[in-house]
Amino acid sequence: MELRHLRYFVTIAEEQSLTRAAARLHIAQPPLSAQLRKLETELGTNLVHRTARGAQLTEAGKVLLEEARRILHEVEQAGRMTREVGSGLVGRLALGFIPSASNAVLPPMLRRFKAEYPDVTLHLQEMRPDEIVDRLHDRRIDAGLFYLPFEDPALHVRPVAEESLLLALPATHRLADRERVRLDEVSDEPFILPARHGSMPGLYAIVVEACERAGFTPRVVQRDVWLMQTIVGLVAGGMGVAVVPASMRSLQRAGAVFLTLSDVGERAQTAISWRRGSTPPVLRSFLDIVTGSSSGVGPDE
C-alpha cells in the first residue's frame, strides 16, 4: 500500500464518483479504477460499491477512510515538522551566558529571536565563563556569551556587542559630583577587580590594561569578584572603586555613582561562541539574530 493509493481512495470517497475523483486528481478514470482494484485486492475486501448513482463506501471502506485521513494528516505533519527543524524554525537551543550579559546584551537578542522563532524552546543557563567553555566542549550547551579576550581553536568566537567603561565610585567619594574623570585621578584608590577564570582573562584583563595605560597598577583591595552586581555593591559599601561596563549604570544601586572615563579607550566586548563543525539549523537561526541579518555560518561550520 502506497500513500498515493490512500490519497486516491480518499478523493473517491469525498467525490462519491470515480469520474469526478479522476478529474480532481487530473488523471484518466481507467487508471484510477485500476488503482482502486489493486488496493481492494491487497486488502482482500471491497471498499466501494459501484452503482449508477456513483461510488458508495462499504463498511470496510468507511473504516479505511477514517484511518487513511489520519495517516495522511500525520504524514503531512511529519513533513512540515521536518522542514521546520531543517530550516531552524523549531527545535531546542541551550545557551550559557555570564550574568552581566542579561543587563543589556541578552534581552534584545531574546526578544527578537522569540518574535521570529516562537516555536524554538530556549534553555538559558547563567554560569561562569569557564563553565560556558567546558559545557561547549562537552556538548551540554549550543552556544555561550562571555567577555573577550578569548581564543580556542575548537570554538568559533565572534564579537556581538561592545560598550564603554565607566568608573564606579561610592556616593560619598570626593569625585562623586563630577560627570567625567580621568582614570589616573583614582590611581591611589583601592580597586575592586573582576575575577579571572582560568585561561579566560575577560573583563579583568581589560580593566588592568586600562589602568596600566593610564600609568599605574591598580592597588587591589578585593579581587576575583565574579558578579558585576556584587562589585557595584561593594563600591556602594565604600570598599573601593571599580571600572565596570556602561550597562552597570542601569542597576541604579543606592550608594554608588558612575562617571564617564575621559581617557579610557578600552571597551568591554561580549562575544558569542559555539563549536566548530556541524552547526544545527536552530543555532544558525540564533546566530543570524545575534550577529546580524545573516551569520554567514554554514551547516558544517
Residues 61 and 193 in one domain: no
The predicted model gives 86-90 an average pLDDT of 55
Among 137-146, 180-189, 272-281, the least confident range: 272-281
Residue 80: per-residue pLDDT: 65
Residue 53: per-residue pLDDT: 72
**Which triple of cell numbers denotes residue 221?**
583591595
Residues 69 and 94 in one domain: no
Q: How far is CA 69 from CA 27, 59, 81, 164, 292, in A?
A: 21, 16, 18, 61, 43
The dihedral built from the CA positions of residue 218, 221, 226 and 230, taken in this order, carries a sign that is negative
Quote the pTM value. 0.67
Asked if residue 180 has pLDDT above 90, the reply is yes
Start-to-end C-alpha separation, the chain: 41
Res. 301 pLDDT band, cuts 50 70 90: low
d(CA 30, CA 34): 6
CATH of the domain at 66: 1.10.10.10
Res. 280 pLDDT band, cuts 50 70 90: confident
Q: How far is CA 98 from CA 6, 104, 228, 229, in A?
A: 54, 12, 10, 12
Res. 32 pLDDT band, cuts 50 70 90: confident
Residue that the C-alpha cell 555561550 belongs to: 144
Res. 82 pLDDT band, cuts 50 70 90: low
Q: Judge if the upstream peptide bond of residue 149 is cis by omega within 30 degrees of 0.
A: yes
Per-residue model confidence as pLDDT tens digits over 100-141: 898 888 999 999 999 988 888 889 999 999 999 999 999 999
Res. 295 pLDDT band, cuts 50 70 90: very low
Residue 299: per-residue pLDDT: 47
Residues 78 and 97 in one domain: no
Residue 242: per-residue pLDDT: 95
The predicted model gives 14-23 an average pLDDT of 86
Return the percentage of the chain with pLDDT > 90, whole number: 44
Residue 16: per-residue pLDDT: 86
Asked if residue 296 has pLDDT above 60, the reply is no
Backbone torsions φ then ψ of 293, nearest 5 degrees: -65, -30
The domain in which residue 173 lies consists of 90-291
Q: How many distinct structural domains can be found in the chain?
A: 2
In-domain check, residue 299: no
Asked if residue 85 has pLDDT above 70, the reply is no
CATH of the domain at 194: 3.40.190.290
Domain final position from 54, 83, 112: 83
d(CA 108, CA 69): 43
Residues 44 and 110 in one domain: no
Among 150-159, 184-193, 219-228, the least confident range: 219-228
Mean pLDDT score across all residues of the chain:
87
Residue 81: per-residue pLDDT: 64
In-domain check, residue 243: yes
In-domain check, residue 297: no
The predicted model gives 239-265 an average pLDDT of 90
CA dihedral 125, 128, 133, 134 (to 10 degrees): -90
Residues 104 and 190 in one domain: yes
Q: Is-contact 188 277, C-beta < 8 A?
A: no
Res. 298 pLDDT band, cuts 50 70 90: very low
The beta-strand segments (E) located in 102-189 are 119-126, 143-147, 155-170, 180-181
**DSSP output for 81-122:** HHHHHHTTSEEEEEEEE-GGGGTTTHHHHHHHHHHH-TEEEE
The predicted model gives 198-223 an average pLDDT of 89
In-domain check, residue 101: yes
The predicted model gives 219-246 an average pLDDT of 91
In-domain check, residue 43: yes
Residues 108 and 130 in one domain: yes
The predicted model gives 13-32 an average pLDDT of 87
The predicted model gives 52-65 an average pLDDT of 84
Residues 36 and 123 in one domain: no
Q: How far is CA 2 from CA 17, 82, 181, in A?
A: 21, 20, 78
In-domain check, residue 57: yes
